[in-house]
């Protein structure tokens, strides 16, 4: 069973976000199940049907409809493919893969086979960036360029999120109401994306467990065979990742980083910065493909 079937409210919010995208795109966003050896995967696609494929991997409990909105500009030139990751609050059934043993990479490898994609550009958001890095370590030839946006996967933060979330988390556990949930989400996203925050609240209400440990951490030895051009976009006030440490770790692990940009924002950025990010990613992808 997919996560959206566990909660009528969660399903309604998922479909509402999807409907908004379909209105925005005049119905060009399409969803379907793709059958793989590791189980069915729900995939959303947007952009020209004959455009070059680009895989967009979403962040924690931020499935296809929100992920496509985050990277909407890419659909101008690419056939953007956004799969719902298993174990997240989307329409792909099944439990989360283990973070070790390249299980996420094997899942993505199977999906690409079924989609008949030998290699393509990829963009990974937060948790999705760690999955991208897992694939870069497993089968680097399947990624011909990559954008990493507020990425997990280079190190596992502890103290930075802990010191900001302990008291709000305790308050929410005691009261489990919208007010205390807002306080819990404030260090993560402020008031930057109300629709996504409401979706997260539905995830909590549905009792869906948080898949907090992404693949990694990945270093230079893990990614030694990966040489595709890379873009890094990271945030000054990221709840999870100290920006200076993230840049240092990323540059050490990936000598092929060609662009890096620091956004003065939270881990989930404002609408204005989301527009800047997607335009940056589109520019990077178009420049590297000659589109």
Tens-digit pLDDT profile for residues 210-233: 787 999 999 999 999 999 999 999
SS3 content of the chain, % helix, strand, coil (to 5): 45, 20, 35
Flag whether pLDDT at 290 surpasses 70.
Answer: no
| Across 46-55, 175-184, 187-196, 204-213, least confident range | 204-213
Arithmetic mean of pLDDT, 164-180:
88
Tell me if 3 sits within 8 A of 88, measured CB to CB.
yes
Tell me if 137 sits within 8 A of 105, measured CB to CB.
yes
Flag whether pLDDT at 24 surpasses 90.
Answer: no
pLDDT of 289: 58
Please provide the average confidence, as pLDDT, over all residues in the chain: 95
Please report, for the chain, the start and end positions of each structural domain, with discontinuous segments joined by +. 3-289
pLDDT of 210: 75
pLDDT of 288: 60
- Cα separation, 221 vs 238, in Å, equals 26
Phi-psi bin for 290: left (phi > 0), alpha (psi -120 to 50), beta? left
Q: 250 vs 162, which has greater pLDDT?
A: 250
- The rounded percent of the chain whose pLDDT value lies above 90 is 85
Place of tokens 């566990």: 6
Architecture of domain 3-289: 3-Layer(aba) Sandwich (3.40)
- The rounded percent of the chain whose pLDDT value lies above 70 is 99
pLDDT of 220: 98
Tens-digit pLDDT profile for residues 65-84: 999 999 999 999 999 999 99
With 0.95 as the threshold, say if the pTM is over it. yes
């Amino acid at each position: 069973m997919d996560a959206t079937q566990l909660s009528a409210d969660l399903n309604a919010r998922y479909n509402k976000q999807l409907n908004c995208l379909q209105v925005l795109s005049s119905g060009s966003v399409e969803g379907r199940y793709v059958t793989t050896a590791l189980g069915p995967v729900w995939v959303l696609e947007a952009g020209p049907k004959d455009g070059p494929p680009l895989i967009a991997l979403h962040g924690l409990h931020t499935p296809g409809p929100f992920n496509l909105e985050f990277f909407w500009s890419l659909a101008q030139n690419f056939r953007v493919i956004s799969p719902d990751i298993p174990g997240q609050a989307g329409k792909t059934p099944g439990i989360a893969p283990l973070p070790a043993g390249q299980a996420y990479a094997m899942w993505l490898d199977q999906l690409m086979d079924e989609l008949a994609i030998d290699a393509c550009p990829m963009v990974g958001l937060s948790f999705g960036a760690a999955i991208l890095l897992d694939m870069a370590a497993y089968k680097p030839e399947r990624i011909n360029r990559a954008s990493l946006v507020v990425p997990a996967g280079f190190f596992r933060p502890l103290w930075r999120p802990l010191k900001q979330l302990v008291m709000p988390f305790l308050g929410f556990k005691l009261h489990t109401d919208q007010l205390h949930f807002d306080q819990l989400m404030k260090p993560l996203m402020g008031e930057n994306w109300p629709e996504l925050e409401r979706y997260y609240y539905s995830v909590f209400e549905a009792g869906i467990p948080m898949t907090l440990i992404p693949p990694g951490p990945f270093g230079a030895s893990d990614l030694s065979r990966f040489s595709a051009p890379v873009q890094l976009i990271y945030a000054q006030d990221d709840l999870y990742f100290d920006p200076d440490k993230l840049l240092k770790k990323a540059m050490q692990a990936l000598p092929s980083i060609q662009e890096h940009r620091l956004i003065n924002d939270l881990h989930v950025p404002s609408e204005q910065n989301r527009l800047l990010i997607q335009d940056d990613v589109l520019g990077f992808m178009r420049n590297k493909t000659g589109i």
